[in-house]
Amino acid sequence: MSRSRVSRRDIRLNLPRQERFSDVFPYPCYFLCDACGWLEEGRARDPMRRAADDGHHPGPCPSCHATAWVDLRQQTIALTYREAEAFDRTQVATRARRYFLIGGGLASTLAVVGLIASIPVLTDLPWMVMGIWLVAWLGLGRCMEAVARRAQPGRARPRRWRRPLSPPAVAETVRDDLQGVVEGETELETPLGRDRCVAWSVQVWSEDGLMLDEQHHAALSVDGVRLPADSVALDLVPRRRLHPAANDEGFVRFMARRGLSPHDASLQIYESHLVAGVPVTLHRHGDSDHPAVVLSQAPRALAS
Protein backbone atom coordinates (compact mmCIF):
# COMPACT_ATOMS: atom_id res chain seq x y z
CA MET A 1 0.00 0.00 0.00
CA SER A 2 1.32 3.44 -0.95
CA ARG A 3 2.24 6.08 1.58
CA SER A 4 -0.56 8.35 0.35
CA ARG A 5 -3.20 5.66 0.80
CA VAL A 6 -2.01 4.94 4.31
CA SER A 7 -2.20 8.63 5.19
CA ARG A 8 -5.70 8.99 3.81
CA ARG A 9 -6.90 5.86 5.56
CA ASP A 10 -5.52 6.97 8.91
CA ILE A 11 -7.15 10.39 8.88
CA ARG A 12 -10.75 9.40 8.27
CA LEU A 13 -13.32 9.69 10.99
CA ASN A 14 -13.78 5.95 11.40
CA LEU A 15 -10.46 5.67 13.24
CA PRO A 16 -10.41 3.84 16.56
CA ARG A 17 -10.93 6.17 19.51
CA GLN A 18 -7.36 5.87 20.80
CA GLU A 19 -5.83 6.77 17.41
CA ARG A 20 -7.52 10.14 17.05
CA PHE A 21 -5.77 13.40 17.79
CA SER A 22 -6.89 16.02 20.28
CA ASP A 23 -5.00 19.14 19.12
CA VAL A 24 -8.12 20.87 17.83
CA PHE A 25 -8.49 24.45 16.67
CA PRO A 26 -10.44 26.71 19.06
CA TYR A 27 -13.00 27.54 16.34
CA PRO A 28 -15.20 25.45 14.04
CA CYS A 29 -13.58 24.05 10.90
CA TYR A 30 -14.89 22.18 7.92
CA PHE A 31 -15.19 18.47 7.44
CA LEU A 32 -13.60 17.44 4.12
CA CYS A 33 -15.05 14.64 1.98
CA ASP A 34 -12.12 12.45 1.02
CA ALA A 35 -14.06 11.11 -1.96
CA CYS A 36 -14.88 14.36 -3.81
CA GLY A 37 -13.40 17.26 -1.82
CA TRP A 38 -16.69 18.78 -0.60
CA LEU A 39 -16.39 20.99 2.48
CA GLU A 40 -19.10 20.48 5.11
CA GLU A 41 -19.72 22.98 7.89
CA GLY A 42 -18.41 22.08 11.32
CA ARG A 43 -19.63 23.50 14.59
CA ALA A 44 -18.18 25.27 17.61
CA ARG A 45 -16.84 23.04 20.35
CA ASP A 46 -14.92 23.21 23.60
CA PRO A 47 -11.20 22.98 22.68
CA MET A 48 -10.48 21.33 26.04
CA ARG A 49 -12.66 18.35 25.21
CA ARG A 50 -11.24 15.29 23.51
CA ALA A 51 -12.03 15.14 19.81
CA ALA A 52 -13.29 11.59 20.26
CA ASP A 53 -15.92 12.86 22.69
CA ASP A 54 -17.49 15.14 20.11
CA GLY A 55 -20.42 13.22 18.68
CA HIS A 56 -20.99 15.41 15.60
CA HIS A 57 -20.36 13.37 12.48
CA PRO A 58 -21.75 14.60 9.12
CA GLY A 59 -24.10 12.33 7.26
CA PRO A 60 -23.66 11.45 3.59
CA CYS A 61 -21.81 14.00 1.47
CA PRO A 62 -24.33 16.35 -0.24
CA SER A 63 -22.36 16.00 -3.48
CA CYS A 64 -21.30 12.36 -3.81
CA HIS A 65 -23.13 10.74 -0.84
CA ALA A 66 -19.92 9.18 0.50
CA THR A 67 -19.10 9.20 4.22
CA ALA A 68 -15.28 9.40 4.07
CA TRP A 69 -15.00 12.55 6.20
CA VAL A 70 -11.78 14.21 7.31
CA ASP A 71 -12.03 16.36 10.44
CA LEU A 72 -10.04 19.52 9.67
CA ARG A 73 -10.44 20.88 13.21
CA GLN A 74 -7.63 18.60 14.31
CA GLN A 75 -4.35 20.24 13.39
CA THR A 76 -2.30 17.08 13.06
CA ILE A 77 -4.91 15.51 10.78
CA ALA A 78 -5.06 18.61 8.59
CA LEU A 79 -1.26 18.65 8.30
CA THR A 80 -1.16 14.93 7.52
CA TYR A 81 -3.76 15.40 4.82
CA ARG A 82 -1.77 18.22 3.21
CA GLU A 83 1.33 16.01 3.20
CA ALA A 84 -0.67 13.21 1.59
CA GLU A 85 -1.90 15.62 -1.10
CA ALA A 86 1.65 16.79 -1.80
CA PHE A 87 2.78 13.16 -2.09
CA ASP A 88 -0.10 12.40 -4.46
CA ARG A 89 0.76 15.37 -6.69
CA THR A 90 4.41 14.29 -6.82
CA GLN A 91 3.40 10.77 -7.83
CA VAL A 92 1.00 12.03 -10.51
CA ALA A 93 3.62 14.40 -11.93
CA THR A 94 6.17 11.58 -12.08
CA ARG A 95 3.72 9.29 -13.88
CA ALA A 96 2.76 12.09 -16.28
CA ARG A 97 6.38 12.71 -17.26
CA ARG A 98 6.90 8.99 -17.76
CA TYR A 99 3.78 8.64 -19.93
CA PHE A 100 4.74 11.70 -21.95
CA LEU A 101 8.22 10.38 -22.68
CA ILE A 102 6.92 6.92 -23.58
CA GLY A 103 4.09 8.33 -25.71
CA GLY A 104 6.33 10.82 -27.48
CA GLY A 105 9.00 8.20 -28.17
CA LEU A 106 6.46 5.69 -29.43
CA ALA A 107 4.84 8.30 -31.66
CA SER A 108 8.17 9.28 -33.22
CA THR A 109 9.09 5.63 -33.75
CA LEU A 110 5.77 4.91 -35.47
CA ALA A 111 6.23 7.89 -37.75
CA VAL A 112 9.72 6.81 -38.80
CA VAL A 113 8.78 3.14 -39.21
CA GLY A 114 5.71 4.09 -41.22
CA LEU A 115 7.74 6.26 -43.53
CA ILE A 116 10.39 3.58 -44.10
CA ALA A 117 7.75 0.91 -44.68
CA SER A 118 5.98 3.14 -47.18
CA ILE A 119 9.00 3.94 -49.35
CA PRO A 120 8.76 0.78 -51.55
CA VAL A 121 5.09 1.42 -52.15
CA LEU A 122 5.40 5.12 -52.74
CA THR A 123 8.36 5.16 -55.15
CA ASP A 124 6.00 4.78 -58.11
CA LEU A 125 3.45 7.34 -56.83
CA PRO A 126 3.49 11.13 -57.10
CA TRP A 127 5.37 13.09 -54.45
CA MET A 128 2.09 14.66 -53.31
CA VAL A 129 0.77 11.26 -52.28
CA MET A 130 3.99 10.58 -50.39
CA GLY A 131 3.61 13.89 -48.58
CA ILE A 132 0.02 13.05 -47.59
CA TRP A 133 1.15 9.66 -46.31
CA LEU A 134 3.92 11.24 -44.22
CA VAL A 135 1.55 13.86 -42.79
CA ALA A 136 -0.89 11.12 -41.82
CA TRP A 137 1.80 9.24 -39.89
CA LEU A 138 3.00 12.41 -38.21
CA GLY A 139 -0.62 13.22 -37.32
CA LEU A 140 -0.92 9.84 -35.63
CA GLY A 141 2.21 10.61 -33.68
CA ARG A 142 0.82 13.98 -32.55
CA CYS A 143 -2.42 12.32 -31.42
CA MET A 144 -0.49 9.88 -29.27
CA GLU A 145 1.48 12.75 -27.76
CA ALA A 146 -1.79 14.51 -26.96
CA VAL A 147 -3.02 11.39 -25.18
CA ALA A 148 0.19 11.31 -23.18
CA ARG A 149 -0.20 14.98 -22.25
CA ARG A 150 -3.63 14.25 -20.79
CA ALA A 151 -1.92 12.16 -18.14
CA GLN A 152 -0.37 15.32 -16.72
CA PRO A 153 -1.92 16.81 -13.57
CA GLY A 154 -5.07 18.78 -14.35
CA ARG A 155 -5.91 22.26 -13.08
CA ALA A 156 -9.69 22.02 -13.20
CA ARG A 157 -10.86 19.81 -10.35
CA PRO A 158 -10.41 21.45 -6.95
CA ARG A 159 -9.02 19.57 -3.96
CA ARG A 160 -11.53 21.36 -1.74
CA TRP A 161 -14.75 22.93 -2.88
CA ARG A 162 -18.06 24.26 -1.66
CA ARG A 163 -20.26 25.61 -4.42
CA PRO A 164 -24.04 26.07 -4.24
CA LEU A 165 -26.00 22.98 -5.26
CA SER A 166 -29.15 24.03 -7.14
CA PRO A 167 -32.38 22.60 -5.68
CA PRO A 168 -34.69 21.04 -8.28
CA ALA A 169 -37.26 23.82 -7.70
CA VAL A 170 -34.76 26.51 -8.72
CA ALA A 171 -33.71 24.57 -11.81
CA GLU A 172 -37.35 24.22 -12.81
CA THR A 173 -37.93 27.96 -12.40
CA VAL A 174 -35.05 28.93 -14.70
CA ARG A 175 -35.69 26.98 -17.90
CA ASP A 176 -34.46 29.65 -20.33
CA ASP A 177 -31.74 32.26 -20.13
CA LEU A 178 -32.89 35.15 -17.99
CA GLN A 179 -31.26 38.59 -17.89
CA GLY A 180 -31.87 41.25 -15.31
CA VAL A 181 -30.46 43.26 -12.43
CA VAL A 182 -29.56 41.37 -9.28
CA GLU A 183 -30.88 42.44 -5.89
CA GLY A 184 -29.97 40.94 -2.53
CA GLU A 185 -32.14 40.52 0.55
CA THR A 186 -29.16 40.80 2.92
CA GLU A 187 -25.64 42.19 2.62
CA LEU A 188 -22.59 39.97 2.99
CA GLU A 189 -18.89 40.59 3.42
CA THR A 190 -16.17 38.84 1.47
CA PRO A 191 -14.11 36.64 3.81
CA LEU A 192 -10.69 38.08 2.92
CA GLY A 193 -11.06 41.50 1.25
CA ARG A 194 -13.89 42.58 3.60
CA ASP A 195 -15.88 44.01 0.66
CA ARG A 196 -19.63 44.51 1.04
CA CYS A 197 -21.55 42.37 -1.45
CA VAL A 198 -24.44 39.97 -2.03
CA ALA A 199 -22.25 37.11 -3.34
CA TRP A 200 -18.58 36.14 -3.26
CA SER A 201 -16.19 33.55 -4.63
CA VAL A 202 -12.70 32.53 -3.47
CA GLN A 203 -10.18 30.34 -5.30
CA VAL A 204 -6.80 29.17 -4.05
CA TRP A 205 -4.34 27.83 -6.63
CA SER A 206 -1.08 25.99 -6.15
CA GLU A 207 1.54 25.21 -8.78
CA ASP A 208 -0.21 21.87 -9.36
CA GLY A 209 -3.83 22.93 -9.58
CA LEU A 210 -6.90 24.31 -7.87
CA MET A 211 -6.73 23.73 -4.12
CA LEU A 212 -9.94 25.52 -3.09
CA ASP A 213 -13.05 26.69 -4.91
CA GLU A 214 -15.64 28.19 -2.56
CA GLN A 215 -18.72 30.33 -3.19
CA HIS A 216 -21.52 31.83 -1.15
CA HIS A 217 -24.45 34.13 -1.91
CA ALA A 218 -27.36 35.63 -0.03
CA ALA A 219 -30.98 35.27 -1.09
CA LEU A 220 -31.21 37.05 -4.45
CA SER A 221 -33.81 38.14 -6.97
CA VAL A 222 -33.34 38.64 -10.70
CA ASP A 223 -36.16 40.11 -12.79
CA GLY A 224 -38.72 39.00 -10.20
CA VAL A 225 -37.31 35.48 -9.82
CA ARG A 226 -36.31 34.79 -6.21
CA LEU A 227 -33.25 32.65 -5.59
CA PRO A 228 -32.77 31.28 -2.06
CA ALA A 229 -29.34 31.60 -0.48
CA ASP A 230 -26.73 29.24 -1.93
CA SER A 231 -29.01 27.92 -4.67
CA VAL A 232 -27.13 28.95 -7.85
CA ALA A 233 -23.52 28.58 -8.94
CA LEU A 234 -21.60 31.82 -9.46
CA ASP A 235 -19.53 32.92 -12.46
CA LEU A 236 -18.08 36.20 -11.25
CA VAL A 237 -15.61 38.60 -12.87
CA PRO A 238 -13.17 40.10 -12.42
CA ARG A 239 -11.10 38.01 -10.06
CA ARG A 240 -8.73 39.99 -7.88
CA ARG A 241 -5.53 38.39 -6.66
CA LEU A 242 -4.94 38.97 -2.96
CA HIS A 243 -1.68 39.09 -1.03
CA PRO A 244 -2.79 38.69 2.59
CA ALA A 245 -0.23 38.78 5.37
CA ALA A 246 0.61 35.40 6.87
CA ASN A 247 0.00 36.81 10.35
CA ASP A 248 -3.43 38.28 9.55
CA GLU A 249 -5.77 36.58 12.02
CA GLY A 250 -8.73 36.49 9.63
CA PHE A 251 -6.63 35.00 6.84
CA VAL A 252 -5.03 32.42 9.14
CA ARG A 253 -8.44 31.31 10.37
CA PHE A 254 -9.87 31.18 6.84
CA MET A 255 -7.06 28.91 5.64
CA ALA A 256 -6.97 26.74 8.75
CA ARG A 257 -10.71 26.10 8.64
CA ARG A 258 -10.23 24.62 5.16
CA GLY A 259 -7.12 22.57 5.92
CA LEU A 260 -4.75 24.89 4.02
CA SER A 261 -1.50 26.43 5.21
CA PRO A 262 -1.50 30.24 5.60
CA HIS A 263 2.31 30.16 5.42
CA ASP A 264 2.60 28.56 1.97
CA ALA A 265 3.94 31.39 -0.18
CA SER A 266 3.40 29.42 -3.39
CA LEU A 267 -0.40 29.62 -3.09
CA GLN A 268 -2.22 32.17 -5.25
CA ILE A 269 -5.46 33.53 -3.81
CA TYR A 270 -8.23 35.12 -5.88
CA GLU A 271 -11.45 36.69 -4.66
CA SER A 272 -14.50 37.96 -6.55
CA HIS A 273 -17.69 39.57 -5.34
CA LEU A 274 -21.04 40.72 -6.69
CA VAL A 275 -22.90 43.84 -5.55
CA ALA A 276 -26.59 44.67 -5.91
CA GLY A 277 -27.70 46.53 -9.02
CA VAL A 278 -25.36 44.74 -11.42
CA PRO A 279 -26.73 43.16 -14.64
CA VAL A 280 -26.54 39.37 -14.56
CA THR A 281 -27.64 36.37 -16.59
CA LEU A 282 -29.23 33.18 -15.26
CA HIS A 283 -28.92 30.03 -17.34
CA ARG A 284 -29.30 26.30 -16.85
CA HIS A 285 -26.23 24.13 -16.91
CA GLY A 286 -25.73 20.37 -16.93
CA ASP A 287 -27.92 17.55 -18.23
CA SER A 288 -31.69 17.24 -17.85
CA ASP A 289 -31.38 14.74 -15.01
CA HIS A 290 -29.02 16.90 -12.92
CA PRO A 291 -29.64 20.51 -13.97
CA ALA A 292 -27.97 23.40 -12.22
CA VAL A 293 -28.44 27.15 -12.45
CA VAL A 294 -25.49 29.47 -13.03
CA LEU A 295 -25.52 33.20 -12.32
CA SER A 296 -23.06 35.07 -14.55
CA GLN A 297 -22.21 38.73 -14.56
CA ALA A 298 -23.72 40.12 -17.74
CA PRO A 299 -21.64 41.94 -20.38
CA ARG A 300 -21.12 45.65 -19.84
CA ALA A 301 -23.39 46.43 -22.79
CA LEU A 302 -26.41 45.30 -20.81
CA ALA A 303 -25.75 47.93 -18.13
CA SER A 304 -26.85 50.80 -20.38
* pLDDT given at position 47: 47
Contact partners, residue 4, CB within 8 Å, separation at least 6: 84, 87, 88, 91
* pLDDT given at position 152: 44
The answer to whether 292 and 283 have CB atoms below 8 angstroms apart is no
CA distance 176 to 233: 16
Q: Give the residue ranges of the chain where pLDDT is below 50.
A: 1-7, 9-22, 44-47, 49-55, 92-93, 147-155, 300-304
Q: What digits encode the pLDDT tens for the residues 73-88?
A: 988 888 888 888 776 6
The answer to whether 207 and 217 have CB atoms below 8 angstroms apart is no
Contact partners, residue 261, CB within 8 Å, separation at least 6: 82, 255, 267
| The length of the chain, given as a count of residues | 304
Q: What digits encode the pLDDT tens for the residues 26-54?
A: 889 999 999 999 999 865 444 454 444 44
Question: What are the C-alpha distances in Å from 76 to residues 15, 20, 71, 72?
Answer: 14, 10, 10, 9
* pLDDT given at position 169: 86
